[in-house]
Amino acid sequence: MATTKPTRKISRKEKLREDTVATFYARAVGFFDRHKSMVYGAGGAVVVILAAVAGLAWMSAQKESRAAEAAAPSIRNYEAGMYREALDGVAGSAGLLEIAETFSSTETGNLAHFYAADALYRLGEFDQAIELFRQYDKDRDYLGASALAGEANILEGRGQHAEAGALYVRAAEFHEDAEFSPRYLVDAGRAFESAGEYGRAVEIYERVKAEYPDAQVASDADFLIARASARVSG
């Protein structure tokens, strides 16, 4: 069975709001640095520009705050394993699918894509899950790699083994992690074996052995290499 394991608790309202404000501040500073001569020459126009940037940042932060507040009940349901309730919402609260659509321009809305994709995956609704995994705007972190692995797992289940193998490799490299990267590589090797690409599978297993010798899955590396090598020669 593939080791997607996409779920993990994530900080919410406060961090999201701080990240949004920090992003807009960084954009404002970047604008100033790129156009400082124009800004200085414009005299009073700088006040207007900074006021506009501050206004946009404030509006974005307010939208982010509303999104985080709206998403909180569904995220609690998700973390409690109540995936259908998390997706559809309960007691008048918006579900993850609605949050993802309504607040798509916010960090919370983007995160809702991941939560919704994982919930659908766990409910066996793979067609919609893979679309949301793809729509999730991935950072090079644990969740980004997990979304790629979730997509790979669905492709593997569809019999698209070579495509799945390549995506598992991408997940392993997307965010270097001593626990999950070697697992994703082993998943990739298995997928390549299923695709009949035994030489490629051997390369992947040898990589696990060389790069992650202390990983739990590395203990099976010699067996996996021998098995795939036998199929190459066979």
Structural domain contains residue 128: no
CA 135 to CA 15: how far, in whole Å?
Answer: 22
Q: How many helices (H) and strands (E) does the chain have?
A: 12, 0
CA 10 to CA 177: how far, in whole Å?
Answer: 17
Is 70 exceeded by the pLDDT of residue 196? yes
Q: What burial class does residue 150 get, using C-beta atoms within 10 Å of its C-beta: 0-12 exposed, 13-18 middle, 19+ buried?
A: buried
Token pair in block for residue 91: 């007691």
Q: What is the pLDDT of residues 82-139, one digit of tens each?
A: 999 999 999 889 999 999 999 999 999 999 999 999 999 999 999 999 999 999 999 9
Tell me the CA distances in angstroms from 27 to 120, 165, 168, 186, one per residue in order. Answer: 35, 38, 34, 40
CATH of the domain at 169: 1.25.40
Structural domain contains residue 68: no
Closest to 166 in 3D by CA, of 148, 143, 179: 148
Q: Considering all CA atoms of the chain, what is the largest pairwise distance in Å, rounded to the nearest integer? A: 78
Structural domain contains residue 154: yes
Q: What pLDDT score was predicted for residue 92?
A: 87
CA 209 to CA 221: how far, in whole Å?
Answer: 6
Identify the band that residue 188 occupies on the pLDDT scale cut at 50, 70 and 90.
Answer: very high
Lowest mean pLDDT among 13-22, 98-107, 187-196: 13-22
Dihedral class, residue 5 (left if φ above 0, else alpha if ψ from -120 to 50, else beta): left
Structural domain contains residue 137: no
Provide the residue range defining the domain that includes 216.
148-234
How many domains would you assign to the chain?
Answer: 1
pTM to 2 decimal places: 0.76
Structural domain contains residue 4: no
Is 80 exceeded by the pLDDT of residue 78? yes
Q: What pLDDT score was predicted for residue 37?
A: 53
Structural domain contains residue 108: no
Q: What is the mean pLDDT of the chain?
A: 83
Residue 146's identity, in one-letter code, is S
Structural domain contains residue 18: no
Structural domain contains residue 97: no
Give the angle 133-188-214 at the CA atoms, nearest 5°.
110
CA 14 to CA 203: how far, in whole Å?
Answer: 44
Q: What is the pLDDT of residues 41-71, one digit of tens each?
A: 445 554 444 455 555 566 677 888 898 999 9
Tell me the CA distances in angstroms from 134 to 11, 68, 151, one per residue in order. Answer: 22, 22, 7
| Rg of the chain over all Cα atoms, to the nearest angstrom | 22
Name the DSSP class of 93: P
CA 42 to CA 35: how far, in whole Å?
Answer: 11
